Amino acid sequence: MIYRLSPQAENDLMAIEIYYTGVGNKQAGNRIVDSIISCIHTLIHHPYLGHPEPMLQEFPQSFRTMVNVPNYKIVYWVEEDIVKIATIFDCRQFPMKLHNLINKGNMWICEPQVEYKKSRQ
């Protein structure tokens, strides 16, 4: 199995590092990000280790979450042999924000978006 990060998940990891560097605790930011990456590697070997995400039950992807360090959870789904990481959600935020992020945006999608163009004939 492999994993794929969405642009949202990549941004989330970068934001964690930037935040902790900004408050003067770069080591804590690095430790948190390393812990999240380690958890993602665990998901590669045990993709159903996390539990179904109750805030996202209405979506067809069957989103799951795995809590990593007390404040962050990895939101993902499994498709064929790929663990697709939608976002790294800070649990200190309003829970409905997670639903809105998935519902209204497309940054959580792990595949590159290809613009539709009409071919000239």
Which tens digits make up the pLDDT trace of 68-77? 777 999 999 9
Greater confidence (121 vs 12) lies with 12
Read off the amino acid at residue 33. Answer: V
> Would you identify the CATH topology of the domain 2-104?
YaeB-like fold (3.30.2310)
- Nearest Cα neighbor of 6 from 69, 113, 87 is 87
What's the whole-number mean pLDDT along residues 13-34?
91
For residues 47 and 49, what is the distance between their CA atoms, to the nearest angstrom? 6
The tens digit of pLDDT for each residue in 29-51 reads 999 999 999 999 999 999 999 99
Mean pLDDT of the chain: 89
Give kind and range of the element (H or E) at residue 77: strand 72-79
Can you give the pTM of this predicted structure? 0.88
Q: Which residue has the tokens 């804590």?
A: 28
Is residue 8 within 8 A of residue 101, CB to CB? The reply is yes
